[in-house]
Amino acid sequence: MKSFKPNKKIKDNAYVGSIEKYNEIYDYSIKNPEGFWAEQAERITWFKKWNKVWNWDFDKADISWYEGAELNACYNCVDRHVDNGYGNEIALIWEGNDSSESKKLSYNNLLTEVQLAANSLKSLGVEKGDRVCIYMQMIPELTIALLACARIGAVHSVVFGAFSPDSLESRINDSECKVLVTQDTGVRGTKNDIPMKANADKAVKNTPSIEKILVVKRTGSPVEMEPSRDVWWHEAIASADSTCEPEIMNAEDPLFILYTSGSTGKPKGVMHTTGGYMVYTSTTHHYIFDYKPGEIYWCTADIGWITGHSYIVYGPMANRAVTVMFEGVPNYPDYGRFWEIVEKHKVNIFYTAPTALRALMKEGDDWPKKYNLESLRLLGTVGEPIKEPEWMWYHSIIGNQKCPIVDTWWQTETGGIMITPLPGVTETKPGSATRPFFGVLPELVDDDGNVLEGNNVEGNLVMQRPWPSIMRTVYGDHKRFFDTYFSRFPGKYFSGDGCKRDENGYYWITGRVDDVIIVSGHNLGTAEIEGSIGGHPDVAEAAVVGYPHDIKGNSIYAFVTLRTGREITENTRTEIAKIVRADIGPHATPEKIQFTEGLPKTRSGKIMRRILRNIASDNIDDLGDISTLADPSVVESLVNNRI
């Protein structure tokens, strides 16, 4: 098993800096959670302090943090930095789809823009507590819109810009948004006229709650404007008042709703509140990214997802970071785009998803090697288990073996990072998210809820107690909140993930629990088999699912993408089977291996196993909903070439 010790230079300068210190702070945070979280809360500026740090009862799915306290999230991300004399420092570096376009906004600029936008929303009738839906691409006004909502106490509900009109409609209706903020059209990769406003128009045909649409002019492409309903952003701000006092919010007032898909069809409106979320995102951003003033920090996620909310906007901005926001995609105009941006803006901290790394790794080392990546100091990943080959590629080719990699495990529901290495502290092992963050108390339980003590165990990942940014409810459906997260293992928060704890007490996420395949009575994690297949030098990516087998119960079907330019030889299948057999055991050997150009993925890069399971099981007449796929055309070729 490979492992990597913290590099001395990082260690000497890190906030925590040694495993002993981590253990000491961690123990304190667990033994005295209220003391610990009261101290961490000092990084936020409060208008009024709390009466009680926490109150919770998992049996009722009732959780509150910093009750009685008052604050404003936008004030914490913008105003106070200006008040403290940092107004001229850069807050946001925006990089356009094409390298010819980029923009820098200082904290002063941001304060001006946010107040204008906040007053524009007010002039459209938005009041404290109202929901505002935001449906945009990655343009600066998106960040401004979030902060403007937070400033006036409106609850934002961001819907990822690639969602269809139908998805937008159902999300707007679920939370009864009053105003929709969008843009004329969008540019992303080779797409230069994504019909955002036209999609919005289709959606709002059936959304009675929407009174106004605020439209940013991004491309200038003609769009229809309904005069009694639609307002141009630039016109609204031109006539808006320039000052807008931040609303005084209670710590438990909602900050935002963000939809996430569940095991059933209807997406859940995950609701986060203000105080605990701000404390947790800023604390985790500080320690995990070890952010030092002036550093350039780039999280490549889209603000349409939780990672963008917590680690492009709220966490970094509360910490007065310079945060990069990118409109485009990693492979446009070519596979060097990420690295070109790293070189151009001298990015120090880079946070991305394993799926992006795999896509880039597949194209070879020449792209990153064309650029100067010396500025990079720390790398991070999120979203799915990272496997050894891409971890090693990230470590050696991108990080030049000198950057710590933080593999951060968390969820939309958790609001912030929960299990992660700390730079300069944790000896990392490729594929492991390692240890819990301060205040986080994970536990592994078997399917009957029995606690699995000690090391070398594998089970369901639960949390024994809340942390400040845990979601507070499913919007409009508290029962669903309780049922989904607190009923399976009473008294505990159930993540829905499987996990093992190794001989060193490190956590390894094995994937969603529903991704476990039982073959001849053996529990097999799809992630584990995929990791093993990925060990074959020609393999770029693999996804395995179970399909019914008369004798074993289930058998394994592997969908495998080879690296560009690699040929399938008559030996490839046997070689892969051999590797899996050697890594895990004969019971894990895929019975069928189908080579494919691509895998069915959601727009956030998650493989939709349900579809693969259906293909593998020959259920091709009922593949289920494929409308949320990034590229639905891969399905047809998978079906036609199934084994």
Binding site for ligand WTA (CB under 6 A): 260, 305-307, 382-385, 407-412, 433, 495-497, 509, 512
Would you say 58 or 494 has its CB closer to ligand WTA?
A: 494
**Helix (H) or strand (E) segment spanning residue 4:** none
Cα–Cα distance measured from residue 497 to residue 44, given in angstroms and rounded to the nearest whole number: 31
Token look-up 């939780």 returns 306
* Residue 304 to residue 81: CA distance in whole angstroms: 26
Looking at residue 128, the DSSP 8-state letter turns out to be T
| Min dist. Cβ of residue 16 to ligand WTA (A) | 19
In the beta sheet, which residues pair with residue 478? none
In the bound state with ligand WTA, the residue whose beta carbon lies nearer, of 176 and 477, is 477
- Of 188, 147, 457, 449, which Cα lies nearest the Cα of 326? 188
Quick one: 40 or 420, whose CB is closer to ligand WTA? 420
Query: Which residues are bridge partners to 299 per DSSP?
Result: 351
Question: Which residue's CB is nearer to ligand WTA, number 130 or number 413?
Answer: 413
Q: Output the smallest distance, CB 409 to ligand WTA, in A.
A: 4
Judged by beta carbon, residue 72 or residue 355, the one nearer ligand WTA is 355
- Please name the residue that has the structure tokens 């790394």: 357
Q: Select from 248, 191, 188, 240 the least CA-distant residue to 214.
A: 240
Our CB check for ligand WTA shows the closer of 321 and 382 to be: 382
Cβ burial of 239 (10 Å; 0-12, 13-18, 19+) is exposed
- Least separation in angstroms between residue 424's CB and ligand WTA is 19
| 281 residue type, one letter | T
* Nearest distance, CB of residue 177 and ligand WTA, angstroms: 21
Biggest alpha carbon distance in the chain? Answer: 73
CA distance 554 to 325: 44
Q: How far is the CB of 361 from ligand WTA (least distance, A)?
A: 17
Least distance from ligand WTA to the Cβ atom of residue 13, Å? 24
CA-nearest of 630, 476, 617 to 548 is 617
- Shortest distance, position 599 Cβ to ligand WTA, whole Å: 16
Q: Which is nearer to ligand WTA, 113 or 515 (CB)?
A: 515
Q: Which is nearer to ligand WTA, 69 or 509 (CB)?
A: 509
**Does residue 398 contact residue 379 with C-beta atoms inside 8 Å?**
yes
Q: How many Å apart are CA 146 and CA 156, to the nearest integer? A: 7
* Torsion sign, CA atoms 598, 601, 605, 610: negative
Smallest distance from ligand WTA to CB 623, Å = 22
Reference 110, options 118, 101, 99; nearest CA is: 118
In whole angstroms, how close is the CB of 310 to ligand WTA at the nearest point? Answer: 8
Angle of helix 196-204 versus helix 165-175 axis, rounded to 10? 50
Cβ of residue 115: shortest distance to ligand WTA, in angstroms? 31
Tokens in use for 540?
A: 């770029």
What DSSP state is assigned to residue 253? S
Q: Please, which residue, 106 or 355, has the CB nearer to ligand WTA?
A: 355
- Residue pair 68/251 in contact by the 8 Å Cβ criterion: yes
If the CB atoms of residues 152 and 471 are measured against ligand WTA, the closer one turns out to be 471
- 3-state secondary structure at position 360: helix
